[in-house]
Structure formats: structure tokens, C-alpha cells
Amino acid sequence: MRWALIAMLAGCSFSTPLTQPADDMPPIDAPIEGVPIDMAIDGSPNLDTDGDGINDAVDKCPMTPSANQHDEDADDVGDICDLCPQLATATADGDNDGVGDACDPHPTTGGDTLVRFEPFTGTTLPAGWTIAAGTAANFMVANDELNINAAAGTHILLFDTADQQHAIDVGVRLPSDNTNTTFFTALTDVKSDLAEFMGCGLRLDTESRELFSYNDPNFTTIDTDPTPGDAPMFPGTHRIAFVLGTDTQRCTIPKAANMHEMTAIANTRNRTNVGIRVGDVTAQVRYIAVYKF
């Protein structure tokens, strides 16, 4: 009899699950109150982690809000989250200070901070920049660059870093050289009345690089580079990186694989302004990066 009962049970089909859900749990396929059925899950093309209106699948800074998605160096990493927004594929950060080694004023010592990265994406001169010399109408922002028409004389633009130890990194397109005294210079340690500053940049008329100090009315050459056989080329795009520290001033103006570096003695003036200085030429400034440390 017992074996007959077992056989009958084995042939039955149970319509009730062996394990019932708790009374307060919805059925497995039912929607949960307050949660849309088709809400994006991790990995979905509709996910927008940083809430900036750009889906993660195409967001150049998926963890940092960046509505304009600007990418100065075109490396598919947006400026706002790029370790070096001015240099493509610069991903190393040896000292873990948030500034990539390729653009870090001190790549082996932590503590450097990117104060301002300006790719000139708007149509007006951004807040924080001051025209210290020249005509305002000659500073035009358009097409992701600042066009400075300084053909009629020297034009100077300043930014206050609020720190005595600072650096400026500039990308600029310059036209062909001519016979006049033409120049584009990155400035550090600038006195607000322009009576004193440190300068490093390019002379278009002599096709040379120069590092100098200015104490009104005198210019003093500190270092020059390069040898005539490796002069900067005009027209062309150039990068000038000028670091002002308590121990030294260091300016680099790369050309191809060569890194031309000029250095000066220890800084003693300790002012907080940086800037650019343009004379007797029209310059297209692609970006300006400002650092402090």
C-alpha cells in the first residue's frame, strides 16, 4: 500500500510553488512602487551617472558634470576631468596630485593645482582676466580661441592666481615673422602696474626663444635658446610653459622631440599675477592653463 501511495505522488504535478513569497513581497514580475519598469541599470546606454544630461555611453566625463563636453586636446576625455586638458593621452600622475605628469609643474612632488583652464569656448573674454594694456576691441573670443590683434602695439592680459608660486601654460598659433620687433610672451610675477615682471616666450623677428626680467624701463636677458640651427618655426603652433618657484624660474618651449628649457635665478619678488604679452603681431591663443603650488 505504501509503495502504491509513493507512486501516485510521483506522478502528480504540483501547481503551488514549493516556496511561497512573503506576504509583503510583490510577485517576481510585478513593478516595484516608485521604480519605472524600464529604468536604466548599470551599463545601460540611458544611464547618466553625473546627471549632466549626457548619457554615460557618450559622456566624455561620466563621473563629473560637463554640459558642454569640451575636449581641447581631442583625446575623448573632457577638459573638466582630464589630467592634462591641453595634452592628448597624458594619463600618468606619478605624485597623485590630480595634475598629469606631462603638464605638472613638479611631476615628482605633490601639491600642484590647476587653478584655471581656459579654452576660450564662449564669445567674450571670461571673467577673471584683466586687459592691462591694449585696446579691449582687439581681444576677440570666437571659434574656441582668443584672437589678439596687437599689430598696433603691445597688448597684455593678466590673471591673478592669488599665490606667489605659480605657473602658466599657453598654446598659441603665430603667423610668419616680419622685420618689426614682434613677440609673444608668457608672464609670471607681474606687478599690477606692469612696472616689473618675468617673461619667457618667442621673438618672431629674430626667430628665437628668450627668458628675461623687466624692471621699468629695463629689460634684462637671462637666457636664450636655441642655437640658430633649431629656431622656432613661423607660422606655427607653439606651447610655452613657464614655472615660477621660490628656488628657480623654468621655461620650456618644445619643438618636435626637443624640449628647450631656460632657467633663471631664485625668485625674490613674490607677486601673484600671470599673463600673456603680445607685440606687433596677431596671435590666436588656443588655451591658457594656470597652476599654483
| Through-space distance between the first and last CA atoms of the chain, rounded to whole angstroms | 91
Residue 32 to residue 289: CA distance in whole angstroms: 49
What confidence score (pLDDT) does residue 228 get? Answer: 58
- Decide if 201 contacts 240 (C-beta within 8 A): yes
- Decide if 80 contacts 71 (C-beta within 8 A): no
- Decide if 266 contacts 253 (C-beta within 8 A): no
What confidence score (pLDDT) does residue 38 get? Answer: 44
**DSSP, res 256:** T
Kindly tell me the sign of the dihedral angle through the C-alpha atoms of 263, 265, 267, 273.
negative
116-292 CATH fold: Jelly Rolls (2.60.120)
- Decide if 84 contacts 112 (C-beta within 8 A): no
What confidence score (pLDDT) does residue 49 get? Answer: 75
What confidence score (pLDDT) does residue 40 get? Answer: 44
Residue with cell 591641453: 86
What confidence score (pLDDT) does residue 214 get? Answer: 95
Helix (H) or strand (E) holding 10: helix 2-10
Q: In 3D, which of 131, 176, 126 has the Cα closest to residue 153?
A: 131
What backbone torsions phi and psi does residue 270 show, to the nearest 5 degrees? Answer: 60, 50
Residue 125 to residue 130: CA distance in whole angstroms: 9
| pTM attached to this predicted model | 0.81
- Decide if 180 contacts 169 (C-beta within 8 A): no
Per-residue pLDDT of the chain (293 residues; tens, 9 = 90+): 444 433 443 444 433 343 444 444 444 344 445 444 444 445 566 786 756 667 777 777 877 787 788 889 999 888 888 999 999 988 899 999 999 999 999 999 999 999 999 999 999 999 999 999 999 999 999 999 999 999 989 999 999 999 999 999 999 999 987 778 999 999 999 999 999 999 999 999 988 899 999 999 999 998 887 565 678 889 999 999 999 987 778 899 976 556 778 887 766 678 999 999 999 999 999 999 999 99
What confidence score (pLDDT) does residue 51 get? Answer: 63
What confidence score (pLDDT) does residue 267 get? Answer: 67
Cell for 192? 599690477
In sequence order, the 6+-apart residues with CB closer than 8 A to the CB of 165 are 244, 245, 246, 292, 293
Residue 155 to residue 278: CA distance in whole angstroms: 5
For the chain, the structural domain boundaries read 116-292
- Decide if 220 contacts 211 (C-beta within 8 A): no
What confidence score (pLDDT) does residue 215 get? Answer: 94
What backbone torsions phi and psi does residue 114 show, to the nearest 5 degrees? Answer: -80, 110
